[in-house]
Amino acid sequence: MSRFIDAAATAHVLTVAAMEEASRLDQREADLDHLLLALTIDAGTAGQVLRGLGITLDAAREAVAAEHDAALASLGVRVDAPPTGGIRFHETGGYDWSERALAVIRRTGENDGRSDAAAVLRTLVHEPSGLIEAILSRLGTTPNAVIERLDEAERYPEHRTGQAPTPAVISGTSEAFVPATPEAVWALLADPSRMPDWEPSIGGVDKAPSTPEAGATWTVRTRAQRPDGKAIRINPKTVRQRVELIETDADRVIEWRFSYPDAPAANARRLRAELESAAGGTQLRLFLAWERSPDRPRRLKTLGRLMHPLMRYMIWMQLTQLGGGIGRAFR
């Protein structure tokens, strides 16, 4: 992606994760601490560095709560901690960044032009209020230690190879971090009845096999309602989706093919998930490809080239939503 698109992608992913964390406490403003929590589940260098220092999502949540309690106690205020619940960001509205969190995001990239999650973390650990430094202290580290680990990690560029099912109209790959063991993530992905828990387009499952093997098929229903209750307009021919399990290797790899039995000219999609144990959880690699139906008329080449960047962005968004949905099931 271009630098501009990369910056927009980073901002989108961190914004969603931070505001999801704020919603657990029924807060509508995402602050510096929520940004730190979002970075602990980053799939790239920033998240890997934090988790390598022992700063997992759960550990960071505890440190944040302790720091807020201590700040109130220093003012002579003692209140019960607000109850934490599930993530409610997608069912509610009215969220925004605090001014100081927004300032961190805006300052990122001013020096070297980088705006990835690692660059955000560099800016965050030296934010002027001292809140992040205090939280890091509770986690047994310092801003300088985080920077040193980032420097060390970034001496060696990330090497990512990819493959995609063929034939494909367009395809893409993405990585996500899930704060759960590979066994727990596998149990979620391998259970057809739990598909609506993580796949954003699926609203229900009909007659799912309990322990499917490669070649098994079942039917799912396209989601007709958003998490906030608003209806989703659906083509009647795409209400039913046929799912075929293409490959399964316990705790490591699973791949599905989704098609529309009532719309034979519609493109099918293939989704593959590869799981790898990582510090604090599971590194998840996702492959998504849309297969062209032989019954679908081909676009003019010129139109196809013009649409290509938009389609790639749509693939990226779909992968981001899939990775986010899987991770959210364990948060």
Confidence of residue 149 (pLDDT cuts 50, 70, 90): very high
Helix (H) or strand (E) segment spanning residue 64: helix 57-74
SS3 assignment, position 282: strand
Closest by CA position to 71, among listed 156, 120, 138, 161? 138
Distances (CA, A) of 86 to 17, 23, 198, 242: 13, 8, 15, 31
Q: Taking each helix axis from N to C terminus, what angle separates 143-153 and 45-52, rounded to the nearest 10 degrees? A: 130
Return the pLDDT at 292.
79
Residue 243 CA to residue 265 CA, distance in Å, equals 16
CATH no. of 3-153? 1.10.1780.10
pLDDT digits (tens, 9 = 90+) for 7-35: 777 889 999 999 999 999 999 999 999 99
Tokens 């109130």 label which residue? 72
Q: Count the residues in the chain.
A: 331
Q: Is the pLDDT of residue 327 over 70?
A: yes
Mean of pLDDT values over 256-274: 95
Q: Is the pLDDT of residue 2 over 60?
A: no
pLDDT digits (tens, 9 = 90+) for 114-135: 889 999 999 999 999 999 999 9
pLDDT digits (tens, 9 = 90+) for 169-204: 688 999 999 999 999 999 999 999 999 999 999 999
Helix (H) or strand (E) segment spanning residue 230: none
Residue 34 CA to residue 12 CA, distance in Å, equals 14
pLDDT digits (tens, 9 = 90+) for 216-248: 999 999 999 988 889 999 999 999 999 999 999
Return the pLDDT at 278.
94
Q: Which two tokens stand for residue 188?
A: 């979620």
pLDDT digits (tens, 9 = 90+) for 294-325: 666 665 444 455 456 677 778 989 999 999 99
Distances (CA, A) of 77 to 26, 72, 96: 20, 5, 27
Residue 301 burial class via C-beta count within 10 angstroms: exposed 0-12, middle 13-18, buried 19 and up: exposed
Residue 236 CA to residue 296 CA, distance in Å, equals 18
Closest by CA position to 109, among listed 12, 11, 186, 42? 11
Residue 243 CA to residue 240 CA, distance in Å, equals 10
Return the pLDDT at 76.
82
SS3 assignment, position 253: strand
Q: What residue spans of 95-233 are helical by DSSP H?
A: 99-107, 117-125, 131-138, 143-153, 182-189
pLDDT digits (tens, 9 = 90+) for 45-102: 999 999 999 999 999 999 999 999 998 888 887 767 667 779 999 999 999 999 999 9
Return the pLDDT at 168.
54
Return the pLDDT at 252.
95
Residues of the chain with CATH 3.30.530.20: 170-328
Residues of the chain with CATH 1.10.1780.10: 3-153
Mean of pLDDT values over 145-155: 94
Residue 284 CA to residue 134 CA, distance in Å, equals 31
Mean pLDDT of the chain: 89
Q: Is the pLDDT of residue 164 over 70?
A: no
Written as one letter, the residue type at 280 is G
How many CA atoms lie less than 13 Å away from 191 in the CB half-sphere? 12
The CATH class, in words, for 170-328 is alpha beta
